[in-house]
A = this chain, B = another copy of it.
């Protein structure tokens, strides 16, 4: 049982952070492919098995904040005020994420990602997970009459918006445009399923 409150947790977190920091530093210094897992472990002064008990794969070392993204997205759905419309809430959150990723401090990392097929692939599978979590959150919202298919589609569209905008020359404008498209796509799902007038806006 026991809330493991204390030193153990702190030490574990410190170890994890040290591994992540060391890895990122080495990757940026020498290139992702030129640095082996054994190098990272040695430099962070931990065993290889310890490294893998904190991170599921070499690529996961780069996308350390993965789960934050996921939580923020689903919370944008679940934590919004009653009757607050879905799409603008998502737009707001995605905009924050895009801003975070296009900040100057992040550009070396994204350049590294673009240059490594393994990292690009990993990022894509990450986004699939995010889309699925988001779809689950949207589907679970009792205030939305849409069916599962529409929710799953919209969830993917939102993740696409993030991906496309992040790579666009002008991310803010691109995001605006794509969310206009998403808004239109979402609107038509209201009309099709039920002839029942769920009263207008």
Contact = CB atoms under 8 A, between A and B. Distances in A.
Contact size range, A:
35 or more
Interface stretch (A31-39, A45-53, A146-154): A146-154
Contacts of A157: 153, 156-157, 160, 181, 185
Main secondary structure of the interface of A (DSSP, over half): helix
B164 A178 contact: no
Interface stretch (A13-21, A63-71, A99-107, A186-194): A186-194
Contacts of A164: 149, 152-153, 156
Interface stretch (A78-86, A88-96, A119-127): A119-127
A168 interface: yes
A107 to B, nearest CB: 20
Contacts of A185: 157, 181-182, 184-185
A140 B188 CA distance: 28
Interface in A125-147: 125, 128, 147
Contacts of A154: 181
Contact of A181 (B125, B160, B189): B189
A180 interface: yes
A4 B117 CA distance: 33
Contacts of A121: 121-122, 124-125
Interface of A: 120-122, 124-125, 128, 147-150, 152-154, 156-157, 160-161, 163-165, 168, 173-174, 177-178, 180-189, 192
27 contacts: A120-B128, A121-B121, A121-B122, A124-B124, A124-B125, A124-B128, A125-B125, A148-B168, A149-B165, A149-B174, A149-B177, A149-B178, A150-B178, A153-B161, A153-B181, A156-B157, A157-B160, A157-B185, A160-B160, A177-B189, A181-B185, A181-B186, A182-B185, A183-B188, A184-B184, A184-B187, A185-B185
